[in-house]
Chains A and B, each alone.
Chain A
Amino acid sequence: MSEILVFFTQTNILEFKLPELKTLAKLSSVPLTLNENSHDKKNPFLVLDLQSEDDAKRLMKRTVLMRSMYELWASAKTHDDLYSQLAKCPHHLKAQYVQRPDGTFRVKVDAFGKKLQDPDRQDRLDKILGILPFEGKVKLNNPDQSFHLLELYGQAGSKTPDKPLRVYFGRWLMDGQRDQIRHYHLQKRQYIGNTSMDSCLSLLMANQAMVTENALVCDPFVGTGSLLVAAAGCGAYVTGTDIDYNVLHGKGKSSRYNQIWKGPDENIRSNLRQYGLEHCYLDVMQADFSKCIWREQPLFDAIITDPPYGIRESTRKIGSDKNNLVNHEHLQNHVPSCTKYGLTDIFRDLLNFAAKFLKKGGKLVYWLPVYTPEYTVDNIPQHPCLELVANSEQPLSVHVSRRLITMRKHLDYEEARESELQATVSDDHYTESFRYRYFHSAGVPEQKAKADARDEQDPLDRERKVQS
């Protein structure tokens, strides 16, 4: 057994850290016991008991939320405690890493939540080198072994205490895959849209869905294909559908600053080509999600998707309130009219779709937008064939957030039991449309007054009132 120190990145998706860690442990079959309740999600450090260094390194192969991992040598409340622990450092560690005149090393001092002054750093370095007389050569760039003193002073926003809350000393093992976020960054992406998913979150979703090589992955609200890029990056073959012709064919107005129309090579396929992943592209199709186009069978290994919320992308399906027939002579170039597709229906359809088309053990990963003051866990849609694996929040504003839901298909879908095997939601979150909530934030008096005042000022609205 060895104690491993994990240093997480600090983002607004703190709740995602442990679900990602648990998923990666499962994916790389590393035995992991976590006491989730004892971990403060704001604390960037976490100590794990792992069986070997090799296990630790396997955990880091795909992580986007863990920054680095260290073999923990000592951890204490005060510096003095830490130094006395280091003085009692086991012989095998000393023999392997300290008494090594042939190797190179460095010692770094880092603080979290405080800026250390140079004399303080030097003081700490001297103390450590006094206790652990490293015999190798100092090399600051790319040494054989890197040792770190890490000090925690609390989270951003809180008052910085004089003394650290906790100090750790360890040997660096491996960094996570943060450079993948830069590699797939949207700024350099060939084709993007208004709601393209950020590369970090896309990679996280592919991790949550446990996408592996040769898997078949589907996104039924594919948009510009950013989730397909992340899945293909994990070696999966990808396919998707969308209702919007312009998005799939790369036509119409561009979402890029300083560019009016989409260029000739802006489409989902060229996004994959950009990263050398075109061989993973199967197809995208124009389809209405409420009308299932697939032959029924457990086809997909994972379904990852970000459905429209009705704010920046409209929620729609084919249909019309009027009873108009399409004239035969116009049929050739007819664009079907759309009607509202409520979020409750979208998520119910999504769960039913996943229950039918995921293979057993496959994952469904999707975002559920919520109005925070009224959200309860009963708002999560359920399906007898699917079990909830993870549910983590990303705050978007004071009143609104979205939750990344991971579900696993644990039961086969049987056609004969269709009436029982249906998605349900015990407490419908979208009785009032999410769009209305988003813009009115009803229930909060000042917000409501402001929104009403804005409506009053709206010139179109005023004109209409005058006319009436």
Chain B
Amino acid sequence: MKLLTHNMLTSKFMKGVVKGYPLGIVASEVKEVAVDYNPDFVCRMIPKLEWGSLCSAADSIGKLGDLPKELPENIESNQDFLKKVHHLLMEVEVISGNLICPETGRKFPINNGIPNMLLNEDEV
């Protein structure tokens, strides 16, 4: 699971959960893969991100580096910054671990990089 995907996921579908965001990450294996840098795509994704949750997610798996806590201005021309965001969004992958609902603590396991967001039949 890439951090880009993590930023888009919630557990709001669970009974009684109001926001379900952001999901916590407890990772037991994190991998870095090389992905072609595409500044246009990164620029398109940044407005769709919740910046704060990206920072806290990156921090929780020890990949935050020197990323600013506030989204800087004029990002289009800031290649250095875009490359860092690209790395975080596209190249860092959680291979195994758990996603955790912030309100109920329900764990959603990640195996082989694929999160399992299914509930059990007694939870629906």
Q: Which residue of B lies closest to A293 (CB)?
A: B117
29 contacts between A and B (CB under 8 A): A214-B40, A214-B41, A216-B45, A243-B118, A245-B116, A282-B2, A282-B4, A283-B4, A283-B5, A283-B113, A283-B114, A285-B114, A285-B115, A286-B114, A286-B116, A286-B117, A288-B118, A288-B119, A291-B117, A291-B124, A294-B9, A299-B8, A318-B124, A319-B121, A324-B121, A324-B122, A326-B121, A326-B122, A337-B121
Question: Please, how many residues of chain B have a CB less than 8 angstroms from a CB on the other chain?
Answer: 35
Interface residues of A in 205-248 (CB under 8 A from B): 213-214, 216, 237, 239, 241, 243, 245, 248
**Shortest Cβ-Cβ A-B pairs, 3 listed:** A291-B13, A320-B121, A283-B5
Q: Are B115 and A286 in contact (CB under 8 A)?
A: yes
A334 on the B face (CB < 8 A): yes
A279 on the B face (CB < 8 A): yes
Q: Are A249 and B5 in contact (CB under 8 A)?
A: no
A38 on the B face (CB < 8 A): no
Give the dominant DSSP class at B's interface: loop
B111 on the A face (CB < 8 A): yes
Across-interface contacts of A320 in B (CB, < 8 A): 121-122
Across-interface contacts of B9 in A (CB, < 8 A): 285, 293-295
Q: Are B8 and A294 in contact (CB under 8 A)?
A: yes
CA distance A331 to B119 in the complex (A): 11
Across-interface contacts of A337 in B (CB, < 8 A): 121
Known A286-B115, A288-B118, A319-B121; judge A293-B2 contact (CB<8 A): no
Interface residues of B in 1-22 (CB under 8 A from A): 1-2, 4-5, 7-13, 21
A214: contacting residue among B8, B12, B21, B38, CB under 8 A: B38
B80 on the A face (CB < 8 A): no
Across-interface contacts of B13 in A (CB, < 8 A): 291-293
Q: Are B36 and A279 in contact (CB under 8 A)?
A: yes
Q: Are B116 and A336 in contact (CB under 8 A)?
A: no
Q: Are B36 and A286 in contact (CB under 8 A)?
A: no
CA distance A283 to B36 in the complex (A): 16
CA distance A376 to B45 in the complex (A): 41
A304 on the B face (CB < 8 A): no
Q: Which of A216, A293, A320 gathers most chain B CB within 10 Å? A: A293
Known A214-B40, A279-B35, A279-B36; judge A295-B50 contact (CB<8 A): yes
Q: Which residue of B lies closest to A250 (CB)?
A: B112
Q: Which residue of B lies closest to A291 (CB)?
A: B13
Across-interface contacts of B1 in A (CB, < 8 A): 283, 285
Q: Are A336 and B111 in contact (CB under 8 A)?
A: no
A295: contacting residue among B2, B8, B112, B119, CB under 8 A: B8
A442 on the B face (CB < 8 A): no
A284 on the B face (CB < 8 A): yes
Interface string of A286-313 (1 = CB under 8 A from B): 1110011111110100000000000000
A258 to chain B, nearest CB (A): 26
CA distance A243 to B114 in the complex (A): 12
A398 on the B face (CB < 8 A): no
A325 on the B face (CB < 8 A): yes
B120 on the A face (CB < 8 A): yes
Q: Are B2 and A318 in contact (CB under 8 A)?
A: no
Residues of A at the B interface (CB closer than 8 Å) are 213-214, 216, 237, 239, 241, 243, 245, 248-249, 278-279, 282-288, 291-297, 299, 318-320, 324-326, 331, 334, 336-337, 339
B120: contacting residue among A213, A214, A293, A326, CB under 8 A: A326
Q: Which residue of A lies closest to B13 (CB)?
A: A291
Q: Are A283 and B118 in contact (CB under 8 A)?
A: no
CA distance A292 to B13 in the complex (A): 6
Q: Are B118 and A299 in contact (CB under 8 A)?
A: no
Across-interface contacts of A291 in B (CB, < 8 A): 13, 117, 119, 124
Across-interface contacts of A294 in B (CB, < 8 A): 8-10
Across-interface contacts of A283 in B (CB, < 8 A): 1-2, 4-5, 113-115
A391 to chain B, nearest CB (A): 30
A105 to chain B, nearest CB (A): 43
CA distance A337 to B118 in the complex (A): 11
Q: Which of B12, B35, B111, B122 gathers most chain A CB within 10 Å? A: B122
Q: Are A286 and B118 in contact (CB under 8 A)?
A: yes
Task: Contacts A293-B11, A293-B117 known; list 5 others, CB within 8 Å.
Answer: A285-B116, A295-B12, A295-B50, A318-B121, A339-B121
Interface residues of B in 28-75 (CB under 8 A from A): 35-36, 38, 40-41, 44-45, 48, 50
Q: Are A336 and B120 in contact (CB under 8 A)?
A: yes
Across-interface contacts of B113 in A (CB, < 8 A): 283
Across-interface contacts of B44 in A (CB, < 8 A): 214, 216
Known A285-B5, A294-B8, A295-B9; judge A336-B118 contact (CB<8 A): yes
CA distance A285 to B2 in the complex (A): 11
CA distance A46 to B122 in the complex (A): 58
CA distance A358 to B112 in the complex (A): 29
Q: Which residue of B lies closest to A284 (CB)?
A: B114
Q: Are B119 and A239 in contact (CB under 8 A)?
A: no
